[in-house]
Structure 1
Amino acid sequence: MRGLVWIVAVAALVVWSLLAWGVGSVVDTASDWAAANADLVSSSPGIIETLSWALGGLGSAGEVIVAVVWLIGVIVIVLIALAARYLARGGKLPGILRRG
């Protein structure tokens, strides 16, 4: 049972990582596309430059947000696996964590 818990946890981590990678790729591609097409919004060079810069920065912020959400998801998956392992042991702590 404990081995199965870790196999499921690793599989969940792989799926979660692939999902985060895909979302990060979409965010990066969308922000690059929007920044490249900033000239469609206005013909003023100042507005185009500012908009392109802002959209590029938004893409960078989006990638950081994806990484933070990925890390939170990894922590949650590991905590769930640890809780499931604890419950699979009948609620007994490992020897190193027992008192007395």
Structure 2
Amino acid sequence: MAYLVAFHWGWLAGAFAIGLAMGWVAVVHRAPGVSGWLTWLLAALAAGLVAATAACIVPGRAGYWLELLLILFVPYLLGCAIGTWLRALVVTRSMRQRSAA
């Protein structure tokens, strides 16, 4: 894992930047949410992939790509969360300034 972080730090930073941009844009998007059963299915799939990586079930090149996928997913999700939080902060601040004026 440390090798992946040391070797792919640029890609990790890129995943974070894309997540930041997507988090900023996602607040504006008004699509219907994901249903409850699909959320549980996706969570089970993610947990299964993490368990397969932790147990080293997938060998060779496929295991390498699986670990890289999971390691890139973390900064992407972190960037999405921070981008959404920043967008909400900016929108809240601008709404307060409009109501005060």
TM score, norm. by length of structure 1: 0.43
- Rg (Cα) greater in structure: 1
If asked which structure has higher relative contact order (CA below 8 Å, sep 6+), I would say 2
